[in-house]
Amino acid sequence: MFEPKIMSFICKWCTYAGADLAGTSRMEYVHNPINVRVMCSSRIDPQHIFYAFKHGADGVFIGGCHPGDCHYVEGNYKTLRRVFLVKKMMRDMGIDPARLRLEWISAAEGSKFVEVMNEFTEQIKNLGPLNFREMASIDEGVSHE
């Protein structure tokens, strides 16, 4: 049974707190996504996203604050623009842009976090494994950073 690997980048102020809320409320969801906490979703660089795909992620998730609510004023707008560009690049590379998901989840939306995680994981399951290294014919021996 294919179990997708989901790399999740979530912002400390909103989505991380939302994920915590899901925990405090004992909501259950799929085990696939593992979170890295950043101060703001705008910390996420296209580099980080592609690195994740390269190293085995079948899907990448970014969680930030709702527009207008960013703790750092407009970081989430920057993230939005970057994700838009990255999806274009993914398309050009032959990676289904649906494998990158950007979602606004506030600290109060524990249930939304659960819903999105379940939905996204299911979606990636249906898309199948990415096999990036095969696709990109990367030689396992060469190290990149």
- Is 143 a residue that touches other proteins (CB under 8 A)? no
Cβ at position 114, least distance to other proteins in Å:
8
Site string for other proteins, 48-67 (x = CB under 8 A): x--xx--xxx----------
Judged by beta carbon, residue 48 or residue 127, the one nearer other proteins is 48
Q: How many helices (H) and strands (E) does the chain have?
A: 5, 4
Of 35 and 123, nearer to other proteins (C-beta) is 35
| DSSP 8-class letter at 12 | T
Question: Does 82 contact other proteins by CB under 8 A?
Answer: yes
CA distances from 91 to 47, 51, 98 (A): 16, 16, 10
If the CB atoms of residues 98 and 118 are measured against other proteins, the closer one turns out to be 118
Residue 38 interacts with other proteins (CB under 8 A): yes or no: yes
Contact assessment for residue 113 and residue 22, using Cβ atoms and an 8 Å cutoff: yes
DSSP string for residues in 24-91:
HTT----S-EEEEEES-GGG--HHHHHHHHHTT-SEEEEEEPPTT--TTSSHHHHHHHHHHHHHHHHH
27's tokens = 């909501």
Distance (Å, whole) CA 60 – CA 49 = 7
Q: Is 17 in the site for other proteins (CB under 8 A)?
A: yes
Q: Does 20 bind other proteins (CB under 8 A)?
A: yes
Residue 56: CB minimum distance to other proteins, A: 4
> By the criterion CB under 8 A, which residues form the site for other proteins?
5, 7, 17, 19-20, 22-24, 26-29, 31, 34-40, 42-45, 47-48, 51-52, 55-57, 71-75, 78, 82, 114, 145
